[in-house]
Structure 1
């Protein structure tokens, strides 16, 4: 749903570190590789794919955005990255022993259809994550201070949406054909440098970045001023502590 074109470098400098916060939990769910094959869908800049490769998995990264793949290929040459996007992945049925999708299903137009596609290309194991409490709360505070009205954002059609919590995530996957679904919520704090946070906004990453880029010059100055004020108030030892919560699901192909 969200446009990610051209944001690979900005994402690598900002939210890539935040989204890596679920990697250990996903790795615990799937275990060590022992040569088994894994497909990471929506691989971004490749941090999860590289982590699983180090754990003995034979990993393929699948990422539709060219600038994301460019960063991933440069930083993780040991992992092959190919283009492809949900809900139509360019792989055979049951081609991989396991499939992951880290913070991907909160961006697709049809989550259930996409969940079914994740299961289709897996021979057995599937694991995925979404935000329950995302970084958007920080940028809403920035907009409030700046006197700017944030966009409403894109919403899924009612029949395609699901509750963004553990129970809703689990139900969506069951509807998508997964079995033995287990979902847990994970909360952690991202110790973010203000420069990394600003790189996401200025670089057009996610909703906040798209909002900032759509502002006129006056609006951008107000947005930046409010951001600097907020960081000055919240920063301790040069970093801003940002708590976030994700739902992490694991299951088996139906």
Structure 2
């Protein structure tokens, strides 16, 4: 987004509304970004997928409509293993295909705070220009308050290895908090993330080259519908502050924890 002051304003507002406070259960575990890694909408969290009691396998599908006409599909598969590691593979299919290979390692866990290193390898516009890029990041996730809601908060900083960007330095924040807890009985969360980075350098909604995004959404937390098998769902509004690239996304995933 060309008017970067909008991102600065949103950052300041969220920092004002955020203060360390009530503990919030690790409901981020088992929920993925558009790129298939554990996290919010486009911002990864520091939490790997829950694999404390054995490997976890998640498969999912996400649809994106970028207004007014573009429709894209993102199927993905995610693996969690050895408690602190996860990896995933997603394919972003629009006019061409983008492949996203994610890896995350949580190297610090103290109380309710986790710190992870992540890497996203990207093969972009396959069959046409055949470009390549990568993103490396550090993410810190912890309990806090978003306004008066107990929240899981993440701060991300990283670097995008790709030329022709306004800035290669990545930053972002994400919040996840219960949505209308009395109505939804703690089963649905509110999501918000923002920053100058998306799940890919070529997202199917949003303009990653202009480096500014705000996304909000709602998330159905994991529900066990068969033994050791869980289903989740997300509904998202994408890139709300930009002058182009706004979109809507819906996704569903199934996780098996043997």
Q: Is TM more than 0.5 here?
A: no
Which protein has greater RCO, CA pairs closer than 8 Å, 6+ apart?
Answer: 1
More helix by share: 1
For normalisation by structure 1, the TM-score amounts to 0.30
| Bigger-Rg structure (1/2) | 1
